[in-house]
Structure 1
Amino acid sequence: MTEHQVINPLSIGTDYEALAARYRPIFQRIAEGALEREQSRTLPHEPIQWLKDAGFGAVRVPVEYGGGGASLPQLVELLIELAEADSNIPQALRGHFAFAEDRLNSPPGAARDIWFKRFVDGDVVGCAWTEIGNVEIGDVITKVSLHGEQWRLNGEKFYSTGSLFSDWIDVYAQRSDTGGDVIAAVRTRQPGIVQSDDWDGFGQRTTGSGTSRFVDAEVDAQNIIDFATRFKYQTAFYQLVLLATLAGIGRAALRDVSRQVRERQRIYSHGNAQRVSEDAQVQQVVGDIAAWVYAAEAATLRAAQPAQQAYLARFAGDEQWERSANVAAEIESAKAQVVVTELIQRASTQLFNALGASDIRQGKSLDRHWRNARTVSSHNPVIYKSRIVGDWEINRTEPPFVWQIGNGPDRKI
């Protein structure tokens, strides 16, 4: 091992089957309660605690620090398996893994070591970035200000995905003194933080994506991070977690439709066989779904590879390699988004063509697969990703690495 590797060990991958074997029993337990949680809208506090206790939040931390040492494609593959069990949970952990990825990309030193230890000890980080209401693009109303010797955070965020389950919250804010954009990592369990379970989307109903309010919440100075230093492939990374969630939804839809067809007793007089499981047209529907899910999963795993290269390039001292790797990470995640979005929405709709009217009953909740897929697909509008990819292919225009949402400027007619 070289001196550079001793000082800054990287997560380059491990034996995937051995890694996954640690978590598959937990995934199975999560899957067993997923339908009941969906129907009762019970937040997955206990399942996420199982994962925390098993060190799941540290799978990307280098093994030298006690983590799993997984590569980014291996993390994505784990998230696909988790999403098959319950698609809400990988999305709830999306902010955690993004913050952990940012710490993986930060310079070696005591500050990074502290976060690695927290991840290994089971700490999970939620996120709170988006402000809704009368907020124009580029505005950040949430502020972090120095009061005497203590920094304090004030503001309100929506889409605080995963924060209800977290020990820390990754808050996008603005310094009141310099106006600079920062990430403020705040401890969740402290005075001045009020969290609300007011997410009312028709899908992904238990991701804990409600409102977070901050009133003079304390922030340690070392946990105020200049946003300009944020890892460059962050938008690609966020999209990869959503792609993994979609692929897992597809696997769950395939699992459920296969079981329903296998067990179905009622047939139609104008069908093609004495058993539904032997009906050639029904078999074709399930076969199509299997192929679409296969393609979606393959595209997702392929898209994760350039993001891993961008992580490795971060410390290679080759600016051109790092830049091209970041472009590839963004473009390939966008290409995968265009394809995976369509395939999984199609699969989660077509499954009903293999079934009957009894299978639309609420007790089975088979519609959750489409609702969840449609909800995940509504993040980061796919039409813009198609345009970005097209502009790259035609003009070699680099993609935007950070984007924002907010009200457009007033237009006078």
Structure 2
Amino acid sequence: MIGPDKALRLAAELAADFARTAARRDAERILPTEELDRLSEAGLLAITVPASHGGADLPASAVAEVIRLLSVADPNIGQIPQSHFAYVRNLRQHGTPALRDRLFAGLLAGKRLGNAQSEAGTRHVRDIRTTLLPRGSGWTLTGRKFYATGALLADWIPVLAHLGADGPLHVAWVERTAPGVEVIDDWDGFGQRTTASGSVVLDEVAVPAEYVTAYDATFGGPQTYGSFAQLLHAAIDAGIARGAVTEAAAFVRRKSRPYPDAAVERAADDPLVVHAFGEVELAVRAAEALLREAAAAVDRADAALSAESAGEASLAVAAARAATTHAALTAAGRLFEVAGTRSAAAGLGLDRHWRNARTHTLHDPAAWKVQRLGRWAVDGVYPPNHGQL
């Protein structure tokens, strides 16, 4: 069984390998199929399977650090399992015993979950049109999803859909290869290019009743489903920030030329360069510290769930999300300021850090995280109880 220390060691070892080919995957848009297989083989995608089913049952703090380590190397690889881990939580809470037995056994054997949640062309991100309609003793699933991160490389796809035309949201668990399921590789974002975030088309897919779990009911009381999912997004951005600083520093040490007025032999000794690195390092360290604090808050809420503990977890994660957004954009943008003209060469692929940061930080507006923190500071009001906080 994988404990926290072993999970972090495995993640760090694999990340070191993944980093060597990250720029090439980005430039040529090579999906990380082999890399995801290695994560599965190492057991890192099964670390939240409950102990009652033979899993490691690791806490949110360990999962967030695994995601951060992977994202330092390649945030595409870090983002793909985010939905995987989020939907494991849904399965733990709402799955029938038979469904949990089957899917948890699959996860322990290396199976992967994707997601089919967001839809294009709707009024907002929580406007869902996909439906589950009655058919015999089960349901038929119809709809079209976009931004379905990881679906191309998944074995099972949890699909968010209304039960009936306008009933509560539920999750339909379908196999990627099931009749009526089509996964299209049509994601063309300029960043996070290899997250396998294409479209999922669902054409009257037959879903047995036991393969449908509650979703809206998750938010009927105190919960950490949203803060956990958002914590992992913060971990991705923290990883992007650290990866950008690390690669920029290596470039400055080895390849940058000093500015003549600095009167130094190395660009790395230019006081303006050193000061800029110090400012970026400050932002990144602050974001990493807030990420650890947020992870601890989610762990505390998981251990003793209440309206107060869940609210404190949401606030801590909101702070981490705002800070990691700032750190990722700052580090990836200022990389070129400190590294100089040579760093802009397309063949180096250093621009991928900014493109990845700019793309992933659009996932949830940081300004709304700050708004929630401000409302707490002014009136002591906890964030709303939904999946994005």
TM-score calculated relative to the size of structure 1: 0.87
Equivalent position of 1:378 in the other structure: 362
- Residues 1:397 and 1:109: Cα distance change in structure 2 (over 3 Å): same
Establish whether residue 286 from structure 1 lines up as the match of residue 270 from structure 2.
Answer: no
* Range 116-125 or range 252-261, more displaced: 116-125
Identity among equivalent pairs (%): 32
Equivalent position of 2:13 in the other structure: 25
Equivalent position of 1:8 in the other structure: none
> Which residue identity does 2:379 align to in structure 1?
N
The 2-side partners of 1:364 and 1:171 are apart by 38
- Residues 1:140 and 1:338: Cα distance change in structure 2 (over 3 Å): closer
SS of the residue 2:114 aligns to = strand
User: Cα distance, 1:378 vs. partner?
Assistant: 0.9
Of 303, 320, 335, the residue aligned with 1:312 is 303
- Residues 1:270 and 1:98: Cα distance change in structure 2 (over 3 Å): same
Equivalent position of 2:319 in the other structure: 335
Of 266, 283, 304, the residue aligned with 2:257 is 266
The 2-side partners of 1:395 and 1:260 are apart by 47
The 1-side partners of 2:10 and 2:26 are apart by 25
The count of aligned residue pairs is 385
User: Cα distance, 1:131 vs. partner?
Assistant: 1.8
Equivalent position of 1:360 in the other structure: 344
Are the equivalent residues in 2 in contact too, given 1:150–1:220 (CA < 8 A)? yes
User: Cα distance, 1:141 vs. partner?
Assistant: 1.9
The 1-side partners of 2:263 and 2:271 are apart by 7
- Residues 1:339 and 1:23: Cα distance change in structure 2 (over 3 Å): closer
* Range 24-33 or range 202-211, more displaced: 24-33
Of 140, 156, 159, the residue aligned with 2:128 is 140
Unaligned runs of 5+ in 2: none
SS of the residue 1:77 aligns to = helix
The 2-side partners of 1:306 and 1:107 are apart by 25
Are the equivalent residues in 1 in contact too, given 2:72–2:239 (CA < 8 A)? yes
Equivalent residue runs for 1:235-250 within 5 Å: 235-250=226-241
The 1-side partners of 2:212 and 2:250 are apart by 50
Unaligned runs of 5+ in 1: 1-10, 315-321, 405-413
User: Cα distance, 1:350 vs. partner?
Assistant: 1.4
Please list every run of at least 4 consecutive aligned residues from structure 1 whose deviation after the TM superposition is greater than 4 angstroms.
Answer: 106-110, 134-139
User: Cα distance, 1:139 vs. partner?
Assistant: 4.8
Of 142, 149, 153, the residue aligned with 1:161 is 149
Equivalent position of 2:244 in the other structure: 253
Of 203, 208, 211, the residue aligned with 2:199 is 211
* Range 289-298 or range 83-92, more displaced: 289-298
Establish whether residue 183 from structure 1 lines up as the match of residue 167 from structure 2.
Answer: no
Equivalent position of 2:329 in the other structure: 345
Are the equivalent residues in 2 in contact too, given 1:19–1:68 (CA < 8 A)? no
Q: Deviations over 1:252-290 (max 9, x none)?
A: 111101111111263332223012222222222223322
- Residues 1:136 and 1:276: Cα distance change in structure 2 (over 3 Å): closer
The 1-side partners of 2:170 and 2:4 are apart by 35
The 2-side partners of 1:373 and 1:346 are apart by 9
> Which residue identity does 1:307 align to in structure 2?
V
* Range 165-174 or range 382-391, more displaced: 382-391
SS of the residue 1:199 aligns to = coil
- Residues 1:243 and 1:272: Cα distance change in structure 2 (over 3 Å): farther
SS of the residue 1:145 aligns to = strand
The 2-side partners of 1:131 and 1:199 are apart by 13
Q: Deviations over 1:107-129 (max 9, x none)?
A: 89444333322221112111111
Q: CA RMSD in A?
A: 2.3
Are the equivalent residues in 1 in contact too, given 2:139–2:209 (CA < 8 A)? yes
Equivalent position of 2:107 in the other structure: 119
Equivalent position of 1:408 in the other structure: none
Establish whether residue 89 from structure 1 lines up as the match of residue 77 from structure 2.
Answer: yes
* Range 76-85 or range 268-277, more displaced: 268-277
TM-score calculated relative to the size of structure 2: 0.92
SS of the residue 1:93 aligns to = helix
Are the equivalent residues in 2 in contact too, given 1:289–1:351 (CA < 8 A)? no
> Which residue identity does 1:275 align to in structure 2?
R
User: Cα distance, 1:159 vs. partner?
Assistant: 1.1
Equivalent position of 1:59 in the other structure: 47
The 2-side partners of 1:165 and 1:153 are apart by 21
The 2-side partners of 1:254 and 1:31 are apart by 14
User: Cα distance, 1:212 vs. partner?
Assistant: 0.8
User: Cα distance, 1:164 vs. partner?
Assistant: 0.9
Equivalent position of 1:6 in the other structure: none
The 2-side partners of 1:227 and 1:383 are apart by 26
The 2-side partners of 1:308 and 1:375 are apart by 28
Q: Deviations over 1:83-122 (max 9, x none)?
A: 0111011211111000112233448944433332222111
The 2-side partners of 1:56 and 1:18 are apart by 10
The 1-side partners of 2:210 and 2:166 are apart by 17
> Which residue identity does 1:262 align to in structure 2?
R
SS of the residue 1:239 aligns to = helix
